[in-house]
Every structure is written in structure tokens, then in C-alpha cells.
Amino acid sequence: MIRTPFTALFGVQHPVVCGGMTGYGTAPLIGAVAEAGALGMLTALTQPSPEALAREIERTRSLTDKPFGVNLTILPTIHEVPYAEYRAVVVESGITVVETAGSSPVPHLPHLKAAGVRVIHKATSVRHALAAERAGVDAVSIDGFECAGHPGPDDVPGLVLIPAAVRALSIPVIASGGFATGSGMAAALALGADAVNMGTRFIATEEAPVHPRVKDRVVASSETDTVVIFRPFRNTARVVRNAIAEKIATIEARPGATFADVAELAAGARGRQNVLVEGDVDGGLMWAGQAMGLIDSVAPVREVVATIMADAEELLGRRLPGLLA
């Protein structure tokens, strides 16, 4: 068994996190992640209201008595989001772990820390990770350029970013971006990380609450089947290379293009309905990382976690020590 400062701090069996994934992070997946001994995050904003989040927390508790958390992604939106109300639900529901992402967690920290909530902040650079540490978060999830979602503007891959963050920080570091295997787990630990965060690997699981064609697309894809978009709008994003992503890439390359020119194509509601619910994998943006190239099957969450941990333990306990003269 692999024990790290992360497993001790958050009270979980394995140093594995299923971070916030909009549209995916609901009770069926997060309950299964918790039961497998890892730490999963319900995505608060997947739920249409704070009241719905409260119900989803209770639904997850009906599936597991093990720890799980809530992701609160703080981003500019067209319609105002009642973040304070979502945060209040987290506290009142007795959630003990929150993952913040997007903008600074500072406005939320006094309320969360006063309630005894441990906070993980997702960062895409060492400078932002240090700012989060100074603000008082308990751990940082550092996203390399390989990750799905928003990898930031610096294009630094995990092989450099993870040890750079470990060297600079004194709190636990969770390595994120490109992790889907036991060898990746072993590599992250060798780089100094205390856990790994996986998103794309958990999409290709039996419990992921999305259309089977989405899971099949992840399995069939290679590490080259993603595309980076929104860079001209200073909101770099990595998504699956599909018809909508290609169309957005063409439009945003035009001189003078603005986000308004692609907003309808990029709408989150469109992606969730067309892609995740209906299984039209070309009908909207589909978010996944380069780790798709490492995934060759759809499996139960428990099997995914157990295989990764067994393979990592084999590498760390037998193969790598055996290379020493």
C-alpha cells in the first residue's frame, strides 16, 4: 500500500483524486470513486441550483460512507452564479473537502476554513500555486499542459511543472494532466508529488454518467486526438478533436475574431446535452486530455483504481529497485 502526506491529510486509502469534471462529477461516479478508496469531487455547478447540490450530496452519501468532496469552479459567466449559496450548502452538508478552480479561492477561504473544510486549489503555474499556498489552502493540484480543460497559457508539461511545484511548495502537491496508469502514478511520486489527479481515465468507466459513445470515443482515441482552442481569447482549453472543435479553431484563427463568434458552438449546455446525454460526439465540445492515448478499455472504477495502484506498487517495489547496481 502506498501512503503519502495526501492520504494521511484527506483520510483516503489511495493517493488518487477524481477532480471536478462538469457534467461527469455526479453521485454515480463520485460514489464509486470513494468506494474504491480514492477521493472524488462532485461538481457543484453541474447542479442547476444550490438546493440540487444538497440533494446530490445526499445521493452520494447513500452510495458510500467514505470521504468525498465538492468542486467549486469560479469563472466569469454570462449568468451570475450564486457562489455563496453553493458554498453554504457545502458547509451545511458537512462536506470536509473542497476543490477550488478557476479564479482565486481567497473570497471563499474564510468561510470554508472556519467550518473545518480542507481546500485543494487547482493551479496551472508555480506562481499561482504559491499564491494559493500563501492564502491558506491545504494542497495544490498542479495541471500540466497535457490536461483536459484549461491548462493555462504557459504550455509547461507535467514532467517540468510537477517537480518545479514540489520544489517551491511546502504543502501536498497533486500531479494532474496525463495520468491514467500505474507507471504514471509511479512517475508522479518519483517527481515528488503526493497524489495524482485523473479526469479523462474516469470518463471511460462503467459508472461515468454519460452516453456509451462518449466512453468509446475516449478508448478509440490516441494522444494526438485533442486540440487546443480559445488561445486567442486568453482562455486556453484542451478538448477532443471533433467537428465542433475544428470549426472553432478555424473561426478563431480569423483576424479580429472574438469569443462572441464561437460562443454558440462552445456553449456548455450544448456540449452536455448533445455529447454527454445524446452521445453525438461531434455535436458539441467534448472535454478530455492527452491521457486518452493510454486508455484501452471501459472498466469499473474499482478495477481502474486497483489496477493503477497494483501496477505502481510493482514498479516502485520491484522493477525500479532492481535497476540499482
Q: What is the pLDDT of residues 80-121, one digit of tens each?
A: 899 999 999 999 999 999 999 998 999 999 999 999 999 999
What average pLDDT does the segment 201-217 reach? 97
Instruction: Return the pLDDT at 324.
Output: 83
Q: Are residues 110 and 222 in the same domain?
A: no
Asked, for residue 12, whether it belongs to a domain, the answer is: yes
| The pLDDT of residue 78 is above 70 | no
| Alpha-carbon gap, residue 118 to 218, rounded angstroms | 32
Question: Residue 234 in 3-state DSSP?
Answer: coil
Asked, for residue 19, whether it belongs to a domain, the answer is: yes
Q: Are residues 80 and 121 in the same domain?
A: yes
What average pLDDT does the segment 187-194 reach? 97
| Alpha-carbon gap, residue 177 to 198, rounded angstroms | 7
Q: Are residues 244 and 174 in the same domain?
A: no
| The pLDDT of residue 269 is above 90 | no
Taking the CA atoms of 23, 219, 237 and 198 in sequence, report the sign of the dihedral they define.
positive
Residue entry with cell 509547461: 156
| Alpha-carbon gap, residue 214 to 102, rounded angstroms | 25
CA geometry: angle 67, 208, 122, nearest 5 deg: 55
Least confident of 50-64, 68-82, 118-132, 305-319: 68-82
Q: Are residues 169 and 240 in the same domain?
A: no
Task: Give the CATH number for residue 41.
Answer: 3.20.20.70
Q: Are residues 161 and 217 in the same domain?
A: no
Least confident of 21-35, 72-86, 192-206, 215-229: 72-86
What's the structural domain count of the chain?
Answer: 2
The CA-atom distances, in angstroms, between 298 and each of 98, 170, 225 are: 28, 37, 18
In this prediction, residue 253 has a pLDDT band, given cuts at 50, 70 and 90, of very high
* Mean model confidence pLDDT for the chain: 95
Instruction: Return the pLDDT at 116.
Output: 96
| Alpha-carbon gap, residue 188 to 312, rounded angstroms | 10
Q: Are residues 130 and 50 in the same domain?
A: yes
Asked, for residue 295, whether it belongs to a domain, the answer is: no
Q: Are residues 313 and 184 in the same domain?
A: yes
| Alpha-carbon gap, residue 218 to 225, rounded angstroms | 9
Asked, for residue 281, whether it belongs to a domain, the answer is: yes
In this prediction, residue 33 has a pLDDT band, given cuts at 50, 70 and 90, of very high
Q: Are residues 248 and 313 in the same domain?
A: no
pTM (global) more than 0.85:
yes
Instruction: Return the pLDDT at 325.
Output: 76
- How many C-alpha atoms does 183 have within 13 Å on its Cβ side? 5
Q: How far from chain centre, in Å, is Cα 83?
A: 19
| The pLDDT of residue 176 is above 80 | yes
- Domain with 141, as residue range(s), is 5-207+300-322
Instruction: Return the pLDDT at 323.
Output: 84
Are 8 and 118 in contact by the 8 Å Cβ rule? The answer is no
Residue with the larger pLDDT of the pair 74 and 35: 35
| The pLDDT of residue 77 is above 80 | no
Instruction: Return the pLDDT at 321.
Output: 86
> Bridge partners of 174?
141, 195
Ramachandran sector of residue 37 (left: φ over 0; alpha: ψ -120 to 50; beta: rest): left
pLDDT tens per residue, range 39-66? 999 999 999 999 999 999 999 999 999 9
> Do you know the residue count of the chain?
325
Neighbours of 63 (CB within 10 A): 17
Instruction: Return the pLDDT at 49.
Output: 96
Q: Are residues 144 and 235 in the same domain?
A: no
Q: Are residues 202 and 216 in the same domain?
A: no
